[in-house]
Amino acid sequence: MLDSQGRTGSDGTHSAPPGPSTLPPTQTDACTIVADLHAHSTCSDGKFPAEDVLDHALECGLSAFALTDHDTFSGARRARQRLDARIADDPSCASMLLVPGLEISAQTEGKDVHLLVYWARDDDKRLDAMLREAQEGRDARTRACIELLDANGYRVSEEQVTSGGRRLNRTNIARQLVSQGDVPSIAWAFDNLMQPGCPCFVEHHDVDTCEAIELAVQAGGVPVVAHPAHYHVVDKIPMFVEAGLRGIEVYHPEQTDEQSAHLLEMAHRFGVLVTGGSDWHGDSVHKAKLGESGLTASRLEEFLAAQPHDN
């Protein structure tokens, strides 16, 4: 999220690596969140490797989980391998369902739109070509941003940003600037340097949202608009539904209860799925911890009923 728009509600401090002590209490009642369908790893702009994120989801006791890295299947693939290895060691790990997912960056009328796509075939050639183009665009944009930062007195190299296997993106630039002591927080770096109107902002052009929805559907996927209220694209939802949108991310840490209620009503009106997740990045990019935002058991059941049969 933050990589494309940089909106955060965070203080940017680095939290300790995930562990049981940071987890929400045991989930028992009907209103408890049992599924987190939105999270990131180092395969995009998350802080922790996909394997660690998967382990953390297991520690949280989730019934279902999706690792949804930006514009790549690699996080979902690595999470799958990790879960298979964990199940081989301990069959009880099979109680958590891993939903394959990714998050596509798109645009509509100049506005950023993020699409979560679940169950898409990861060998689909058209979708793969689109994801490659998105990655190349992000790489070029991030390099241009590094040059602008340099011109403004913020020295950071591509090697530093990508050290330790991190991807080249603006969130990792911000993390590097924080670690060098050049900026107080990730949020500060976006709000003062890399947002539209700021000295190091670089224009970008992503795939049209309706085109991305069509591509996701033809790849067997279930496209869901991510945090539409947070990104101010709620009014575009009817158009997206027309293009084949299958769901709305109703529950997200940056959306208020009122916004969630409105989105829930829209999901019912348009007959599309309700989804939710923490959008966890491993540090303070968003407010919620892993498993703190998402679906209850009954909503998860509705979501899982939408799984395409041929995937």
Note the residues at the interface with Zn ion (CB under 5 A). 1, 103, 279
For Zn ion, give the closer residue by CB, 154 or 280: 280
Q: Which is nearer to Zn ion, 86 or 289 (CB)?
A: 289
306: left (phi > 0), else alpha (psi -120 to 50), else beta? alpha
Residue in the block written with tokens 């933050």: 2
Q: Considering the complex, state which of residue 36 and residue 103 has its C-beta at the smaller distance from Zn ion.
A: 103
Residue closer to Zn ion by CB (options 112, 279) is 279
As measured in angstroms, the least distance from the Cβ of 273 to Zn ion is 17
Q: Dihedral of CA 260/254/229/52: which sign?
A: negative
Closest CA to 293 of 236, 226, 245, 247: 226
**Residue 154 vs 251, nearer CB to Zn ion:** 251
Least distance between Zn ion and beta carbon 70 (Å): 7
The torsion region of residue 137 among left (phi > 0), alpha (psi -120 to 50) and beta comes to alpha
CB of 68 to Zn ion, least distance (A): 6
Q: Provide the minimum distance between the beta carbon of 132 and Zn ion in the complex, in angstroms, as a whole number.
A: 20
Min dist CB 169 to Zn ion, Å, is 12
- Nearer Cβ to Zn ion (160/259): 259
CB atoms near residue 49 (< 10 Å):
19
Q: Is 104 helix (H, G, I), strand (E, B) or coil?
A: strand
Q: How far is the CB of 180 from Zn ion (least distance, A)?
A: 25
Distance between CA 39 and CA 20 in Å, rounded?
Answer: 18
Query: How far apart (Å, rounded) are the C-alpha atoms in residues 276 and 265?
Result: 15
Picking from 129, 125, 124, 128, the residue whose alpha carbon sits closest to that of residue 310 is 124
